[in-house]
Structure 1
Amino acid sequence: MQSHFNPPSRWQLLALVALVLFSPLAIDIYLPALPQMANSFGVSDVLAQDTITWFLFAMGVGQIFAGPLADKLGRRTVALAGITIYGLSACLAWAAQSIEWMLMARLLQGLGACATSVAAFATVRDIFGPQRSGKMISYLNGAICFIPALAPILGSWLTSQFGWRSNFSFMAAFALVIGAVVMLNLKETNQTPTNTQVFKLSRYGEVLKSPIFVFHATLCMLAMAVILGYVTSAPVILMGEMSLSMSAFTYWFAINAVFNIIACLIAPKIMDKVGTRKTIIMGISILLSAGALMLILAPLKSAASFMLPIILCSVGFAFVLGASAGKALAPFGDKAGTASALLGLFQMSGAGLIIGTVQRLHLDTTTMMALLMWLLLPGLLVLLSKTAKHWHEVTC
């Protein structure tokens, strides 16, 4: 089935790219400011890190509702609503005088970012059709990968020049500008809105009955928990415990992001060559090795001893997430949207819950990171079983 829409203009493409940047921007830009934020509110580092986990939790839960709402009310409407919520919640975060108000603002901001992302990918499917949309979605995902490398540099400058609250001023300004771009250039692409219920439990139950989905979605969740553990802990250990400057922290963060981008580009080629099952096995094996290396190098207590295992685990993460996400959605044709929403719930909210729990075990950072990496060990054992081999022979 081919799309009946005209090819998008440059402004429309810019709007679509910008819509998927709301989420990574809201996480990565203020990472250098986390220690300052904790000091400002007089709270522990764990509570400051919760501003990230609450955001991701809301993003995951919101996907269950944002997808059906985009079908019912239209992509443009959901995108503009998401931008509005995102911008207003950024203002609320800027004005927050307590950690409780900050957490509430971040919860709302996660819902706004979820809506912009869902609307963007749904619009791409409308414009390019089921055959050509995959390539465009890959480009959008590629744009997302650059934010972890660039946003902390901007955030470090903003924090050093204007204080940590300026990061949220930037998010509000970004929402205002992109809101105008979307309003002026992005037309509604959903020509046949549905009248179905926004939330229908049975629709999700059918997906959850699939062991292929549950297993691979769980792998995505555990892999995302590793990266989330790194993102929330890196500012504390590098700038707090190791006394690195903001610029040095940003340097290491950018290096890791580059390796992650390269791994994301390589992963599809490896999948084509050896298949998804072997790619996931490689990814988990790399993560397990990185966990062991993390503990071995821990006594050195240097930025390099912490970041080298992290760089290694970022490569493993790219392999596991890329192959597992595709395999989780593979059994579903007409339910692809529902399965995608549930995968987002596992990946965002599930990972957020894992991190929120593990951070309260009061482990040192290196032990916590090694534990998160080793949580994937049962997945490796399952993949080596006959059952998993059959799962991957069915569609691979």
Structure 2
Amino acid sequence: MHTPVSALPIQQSDKKIITLMVILVLFSPLAIDIYLPALPMMVSEFQVAPTLGQDTITWFMFSMGLGQLFAGPLADRYGRRPIALTGIVIYGLSAALAYSAQEMEMLLVARLLQGFGACATSVAAFASVRDSFGAEKSGRMISYLNGAICFIPALAPILGSYLTIHFGWRSNFSFMAGFALVALALIAINYKETKPKETVQTGRLISPSRYWSVLQHPTFLFHATLCMLAMGVILAYVTSAPVFLIDKLGLTMQEFTNWFAVNAVLNIAACFAAPKFMIRFGTRKALLFGLSVLIAAGGLMLGFQHIQQAWAFMIPIFFSSVGFAWVLGSAAGKALAPFGDRAGTAAALLGLFQMSGAGVIVGTMQRLALPSAQLLTLMMWLLIPGLLILLSKKGKVWHSEKIVE
């Protein structure tokens, strides 16, 4: 059995911990954003429906969330570090498989496997944040972490466009494999174990009662659901945008990348502003603000749906990205806060909600063949009940500013 290694915050600087965690969480957005400009080209080469091209994203998201049911308990029992290293290896090998795929079915299998690799690095990262910064500070650190990884949507499509134009769409996956090799070396050398000694690690590895102990906590259930629905908005956007903007509106790959980058910059600013807002006004007001902005963005999207211009599609997206940053920053930290002794399991279930839940919802909605604007409006307005609950007496109890470890 693994001998736990205690790593208190004073043993590693905050800066070093966050830097390493950024590396670990970059695997997921990189696997999505770098090849978005190439998505229409991939669909054309394989001669399949656009929905199957979008499935390369939703399948990745689904397996990334599902895999965390296993990665979480493994991280609690064997430690964050070995899970992170294993995830990187799986990610790199599956990227190589995607590069060599000759049929869409093989590409989908590779993306499914790649999601399992990314889920392991994500669980290790967020559990380590909870280990290192505690219940209250971890919420703010998660917002900073989200702000850092939001650089990927700004930069990855630019890189992806260059690679696709000069070397073909497959080069995006060879870049992912190369990134995995570099990250493997950095993490193996610098990442020290953070798992607390008191972490629960007895009994069966996969225990329904262990998951139930987290799921029955209303604070977790409420905030994890908000994270899932907010992530659904972003997933609906990234899967719909290439088809709508490039195929339907006729934007060039560079024009698409420019719009995507502007939205990413706004998201970065929002992710870094959210923690400051939480410090000054509290997480509840931050969550109220984020939900309100997302719901208002849905109204804008519906109102602009008949305007066949890129700005009419992207302005509501700009607002939704700001709302997403506020919701995720305040809700994710609150969902994990009560589980200092089960941070890995709690982070895994949060990932299941956020990734697999969003993937299933968006994948199902896409089968309804709704126009992009209506799909996005529906996803944004699914958060209305969450806002109403938060304003109720029960919501005030579930989102108390005082956190009990």
Query: TM-score of the superposition, structure 1-length normalised?
Result: 0.91
- Call closer, same or farther: CA 1:88–1:201 in 2, change over 3 Å: same
Counterpart-to-counterpart distance in 2, 1:76 and 1:240: 43
Name 1:85's counterpart in structure 2: 90
Correspondence for 1:32 = 37
Return the letter of the residue paired with 2:219. I
Aligned-pair identity (%): 62
Determine the structure 2 residue equivalent to 1:23: 28
Aligned pairs for 1:34-73 (under 5 A) are 34-73=39-78
Distance 1:13 1:105, change over 3 A: same
1:292 and 2:328 are equivalent in the alignment: no
Q: CA deviation at 1:380?
A: 1.9
Q: Which of 105, 110, 129 in structure 2 is aligned with 1:105?
A: 110
Q: How many Å apart are 1:279 and its aligned residue?
A: 2.5
**1:139 Cα shift?**
4.8
**One-letter code of the match for 1:170?**
F
Alignment gaps of 5+ in structure 1: none
Asked if the contact 1:15–1:178 (Cα under 8 Å) also holds between the matched residues in 2, the reply is: no
Q: Please report the RMSD computed on the Cα atoms of aligned residues, expressed in angstroms.
A: 2.7
Deviation at 1:10, TM superposition (A): 9.4
- The Cα of 1:74 is off from its aligned counterpart by 3.7
User: Residues 335, 80 of structure 1: CA spacing in aligned structure 2 closer, same or farther, 3 A cutoff?
Assistant: closer
Tell me the CA shift for residue 229 of structure 1.
Answer: 0.3
The count of residues paired between Structure 1 and Structure 2 equals 395
Give the secondary-structure state (helix, strand or coil) at the position aligned to 1:298: coil
Match of 1:361 in 2: 368
- 1:203 corresponds to which residue? 210
Code of the residue aligned with 2:122 in structure 1: it is S
In structure 1, C-alpha distance between the alignment counterparts of 2:383 and 2:177, rounded to whole Å = 38
CA pair 104-347 structure 1, distance change in 2 beyond 3 A: same
| Matched residue, 2:3 | none
CA offsets 1:324-383 (integer angstroms, 9 cap, x no match): 222323343433432222111101110000000100111111111111111111222222
Once the two structures are overlaid, the 10-residue window that deviates more, 275-284 or 306-315, is 275-284
Pair 1:259 & 2:289 matched: no
Matches within 5 A, 1:1-396: 3=8, 6-7=11-12, 15-123=20-128, 128=132, 130=134, 134=138, 139-187=144-192, 194=201, 196-393=203-400, 395=402
CA contact (8 A) 2:123 2:347 kept: no
CA–CA separation in structure 2 for the residues paired with 1:211 and 1:189: 27
Q: Secondary structure at the match of 1:153?
A: helix
- Contact between 1:124 and 1:133, CA under 8 Å: does it hold in 2? no
Which blocks of at least 5 consecutive residues in structure 2 are unaligned? 1-5
State the TM-score, normalized to the length of structure 2: 0.89
**Letter of the aligned partner of 2:34 in structure 1?**
I
CA gap 1:272/1:16 in 2 versus in 1, 3 angstroms: closer
For residues 73-98 of structure 1, give each alpha carbon's deviation from its aligned partner in whole angstroms, at most 9, with x where no partner exists: 34332222211111110111111111
Give the residue type in structure 2 aligned to 1:233: S
Provide the C-alpha distance between the structure 1 equivalents of 2:123 and 2:104, rounded to a whole number of angstroms.
29
CA deviations 1:142-197 (Å, max 9, x no partner) are 32121111111100110111111110011111112222333344455559694543
Q: Aligned partner of 1:64: which letter? A: L
